[in-house]
């Protein structure tokens, strides 16, 4: 009998919600539970620094944790490079420090003022001093995808009709409409986040676990075991069916 696999949706700087979810998982599956984090650890919520520290603590304690890279994590990683990089996928008027994306709140958790009144190069220079190298290494080492049996874990999704081995990083951290509107089978059940919805949903060919924690809504974890799926709540497992 295979062990259950737990997946956690987009955290977005919500450390208290993450700790609650980790407690629920430990109650259900023990301290050695296999957990896949679906990315977007940073931005919008109040404690991106604390979230990354918690994940690093788990990694260094040799927990059975796997970390997927989200688009917000890559924006943070690229901003911190020298020279800084902007993600070309963003609309022209957007950049990581824009309030809509939440990079300003991420840097605030490191004690850096990234308000619109400051020049980007000044914010960048201060951030390069304030953000620990261990956090930058963590971001750089995040995985783009993780596959276990008939499950594929990825941040945003995949491009339908393209072999899994030929998927691009851009699609797997950014794709939306082409993936969401496709109702045919995928080679594996795709477990993802990236696009907030009111509650976790099983669409038959994919499972979306982003329930809007970045906007103050709940953080969701799901359990995958024996071909079945449940969400994990304070009242135990709740079946999640197509």
Residue 94: pLDDT over 90: no
Please give the pLDDT value at position 137: 98
> Among candidates 234, 233, 237, 235, which has minimal Cα distance to 225?
237
Instruction: Map out the domains of the chain with their CATH numbers.
Output: 5-239 (3.60.21.10)
% of the chain surpassing 90 pLDDT: 88
Please give the pLDDT value at position 73: 97
Please give the pLDDT value at position 89: 79
Strands 151-154 and 145-148: antiparallel
- 220-242 pLDDT tens trace: 999 999 999 999 999 999 999 99
Residue 39: pLDDT over 90: yes
Residue 1: pLDDT over 60: no
Q: How confident is the model at residue 98 (pLDDT cuts 50, 70, 90)?
A: confident
Q: How confident is the model at residue 76 (pLDDT cuts 50, 70, 90)?
A: very high
Please give the pLDDT value at position 2: 76
- 216-225 pLDDT tens trace: 999 999 999 9
Question: Are the beta carbons of 162 and 149 closer than 8 angstroms?
Answer: no
75 CB-contact burial (10 Å; exposed 0-12 / middle 13-18 / buried 19+): buried
Mean pLDDT (whole number) for 193-212: 98
Please give the pLDDT value at position 176: 96
Tokens in use for 118? 């400051």
Residue 92: pLDDT over 70: no
Backbone angles phi and psi of 104, in degrees to 5? -65, -40
């Amino acid at each position: 009998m295979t062990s259950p696999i737990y997946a956690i949706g987009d955290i977005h700087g919500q450390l208290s919600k993450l700790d609650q979810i980790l407690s629920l998982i430990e109650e259900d599956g023990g301290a050695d539970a296999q957990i896949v984090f679906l990315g977007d650890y940073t931005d919008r919520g109040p404690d991106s620094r604390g979230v990354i520290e918690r994940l690093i603590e788990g990694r260094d304690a040799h927990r059975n944790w796997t970390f997927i890279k989200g688009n917000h994590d890559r924006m943070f990683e690229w901003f911190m490079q020298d020279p800084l990089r902007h993600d070309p996928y963003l609309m022209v008027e957007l950049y990581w420090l824009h309030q809509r994306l939440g990079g300003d709140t991420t840097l605030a958790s490191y004690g850096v003022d990234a308000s619109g009144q400051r020049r980007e190069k000044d914010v960048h220079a201060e951030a390069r001093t304030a953000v620990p190298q261990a956090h930058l290494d963590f971001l750089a080492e995040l995985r783009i995808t993780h596959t276990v049996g008939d499950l594929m874990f990825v941040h945003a999704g995949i491009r339908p009709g393209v072999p899994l081995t030929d998927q691009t990083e851009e699609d797997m951290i950014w794709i939306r409409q082409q993936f969401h509107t496709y109702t045919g089978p995928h080679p594996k059940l795709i477990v993802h986040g990236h696009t907030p919805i009111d509650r976790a949903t099983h669409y038959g060919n994919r499972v979306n676990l982003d329930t809007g924690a970045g906007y103050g809504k709940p953080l969701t974890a799901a359990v995958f075991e024996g071909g079945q799926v449940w969400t994990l709540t304070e009242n135990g497992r709740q079946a999640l069916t197509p």
